[in-house]
Amino acid sequence: MKQCRKINRKPRLLRIPQAVAYLDHVIKERTMRQWIFHGKIESVRIGGAVCIPVEALDALIERGKALAS
């Protein structure tokens, strides 16, 4: 019988509290919700859950680094 291997991949979509934690809590959940509402960050609705792609958060971090330098 074959064994299933665990694949250690980071999730591709994060819910709002997870996304804020991914950003080390430098913003509040309320701010993230406002950014989503105003279209400042990409989001996906799956059922009742609002999710943010990790790629969108990484792009946000890179934009912040570019502005800081």
Give the pLDDT confidence of 16-38 residue by residue, as tens digits.
999 999 999 999 999 999 999 99
Copy the structure tokens of residue 41. 């960050």
| Rounded Cα gap, residues 14 and 54, in angstroms | 7
1 pLDDT exceeds 60? Answer: no
Q: What is the pLDDT of residues 45-66, one digit of tens each?
A: 999 999 999 999 999 999 988 8
Per DSSP, the chain holds a count of helices (H) and strands (E) of 3, 3
Rounded Cα distance between 34 and 51, Å, is 14
